[in-house]
Amino acid sequence: MDTGYDLRFFVGRRVSGNLRREIGLVGLIAIMIGLNIGGSLFLLTALAAGLTGSSIIIAQFVSAAPILLSIPAYVALSSALPVTCANYQYAKLFSRPLAVAAWMVLFIAIPLGMLPLFALASAKLLAVLVPGLPVTLCAIGVMSLLSVFNLLGVRITTQAQFVGVAVLLVALLTFIFGGMPAIDVDNLAVRFAGGPIGFLGASALLYTLLAGGLFGVEMGDEIRNARHVIPRALVISIATVLVLYILIEIVAVGVVGWEQFSAGTLGDVAAAFLSGGWLGLFVIGGGIMASMTTINLALAAAGRYALAFSFDGYFPRAFSQVSERFGTPHNGLLLIYLMTVATLLINPPLMVIGAMLNFGLLFMVTLVLLAAVRLLRRHPATYENSAVHVRPRLLVLCCRAAVAIKLVYMLVLAVALKWTFLIFVGAILVGLALFYSRKRGLWR
């Protein structure tokens, strides 16, 4: 029987009962903006421009559609059931075996996609200031430094997030207002350089630019008045970031044209109209700060996911251990670090890294949307007890539309990944094998 606000029917054992509720609305908005604005903005936008030309601005709106359509589902779930490792826990509400499979996909996507992408973004932007800097070694250095910080505890990082995002916003506004006078309107004429396929591919690639904010719900047990704060932070952060993205892409394409933009990064574009300290502010306060804050938060989330998976019995018990001195899941953090460094040494193409990250995010979020519909239909009392009520018809309509778009994006990315897509097929199969082997008592 559904008894309202009760996590037991889908979560099982609580992962983080000892966490303190220290995050308020402003802090959560800063976290979500930091998750959204990362190295992908500085690298993937240029790659997307190469795929579709000056129509990248339209592609950005199209890529945002499934995120905007996902907001009602995330509002309904987070205002009813705020919890740590929320995406994984919500996915369990829809299907436990698929939730385990989705976790395995995301576990692969973070160290093989997200973290290498942002580490390389930091290194490439540093190379703008220090020409000749070895990018791969610099990226490994960035990962090593931030991994040490995470091993020592995330409290300082969390407190610094607000300051970091404030600096980041100032840097991005410097780029926008500094570049507007230099815009050549002719460069903004809409051109679909890659045709329909290129436009669709660019839209799928840009998906990650807004998807990160959805993972700000992961800290439900650490947010004060979470059932009210999380929905507000979602709407405010995603709307703010989308406006910034559109303005940045207008400036980038308008100033140098899509061809030149696609051959470099936003740092290279900034060098066309900023100089001296202003360029340094954008490169360091914008690109590098965005990448590093996202790496920090992604590492923290990965550690929590390893902890949750170990609590559920799908990972060795060693990953449920938390450092008594620093209060961090050190074994999980170390594993993620080693996997990321191995990826950087292999040095796969950025297009492959970005596509792998997007596929992992798409798969997990799709399950969460299906979980929201299931919450509505199978646990109506819990749904009605949510702090922010979403109309059922609106919820179902938005979820269906978002899932349809995400399935198309996943198909496009599967084609783009080619043989490397088999990595995700393998991750899904391993996740399903873990679930069913444990269910049948084949191992503990």
Q: pLDDT, tens digit, for every residue of 134-150?
A: 888 999 998 898 888 77
CA dist 33 and 337 (Å) reads 23
Q: Other C-beta atoms within 10 Å of 153: how many?
A: 14
CA dist 87 and 76 (Å) reads 13
Each residue's pLDDT tens digit, 201-248: 888 878 777 877 788 787 777 778 888 889 999 999 999 999 999 999
What is the pLDDT of the chain when averaged over all its residues? Answer: 81
CATH number attached to the domain at 25-439? 1.20.1740.10
CA-atom Rg of the chain in angstroms: 21
In 73-181, at which residue ranges do the beta strands (DSSP E only) sit?
A: none
Span 113-141, average pLDDT: 83
Each residue's pLDDT tens digit, 344-374: 888 777 656 666 667 777 888 899 999 999 8
Residue 27: predicted pLDDT: 80
CA dist 314 and 107 (Å) reads 13
CB neighbour list of residue 412: distance below 8 Å, 6 or more residues apart: 200, 201, 204
- Expressed in percent and rounded to 5, the helix, strand and coil fractions of the chain are 80, 0, 20
CA dist 122 and 411 (Å) reads 30
- DSSP states of 195-224 as a string? HHHHHHHHHHHTTHHHHGGGGGGGBGGGBT
405 near 69, Cβ under 8 Å?
yes
CA dist 172 and 179 (Å) reads 11
Between 31 and 322, whose confidence is greater? 31
Each residue's pLDDT tens digit, 29-46: 888 888 788 767 877 788
Token pair for 150: 């995470």
29 near 235, Cβ under 8 Å?
no
363 near 98, Cβ under 8 Å?
no
Percent of the chain scored above 90 by pLDDT? 20
* Closest by Cα among 119, 116, 126, 118 to 283: 126
* Closest by Cα among 75, 250, 286 to 170: 286
Span 415-433, average pLDDT: 81
CA dist 84 and 304 (Å) reads 8
Extents of the domains making up the chain? 25-439
Token pair for 443: 């191992």
Residues in the chain: 444
CA dist 161 and 177 (Å) reads 24
Taking the whole predicted model, whether its pTM rises above 0.85 is answered as: no
Cα–Cα distances in angstroms (integers) from residue 28 to residues 32, 146, 165, 220, 223, in the given order? 6, 21, 11, 10, 8
> Where does the pLDDT of residue 399 fall: very low under 50, low under 70, confident under 90, or very high at 90 and above?
very high
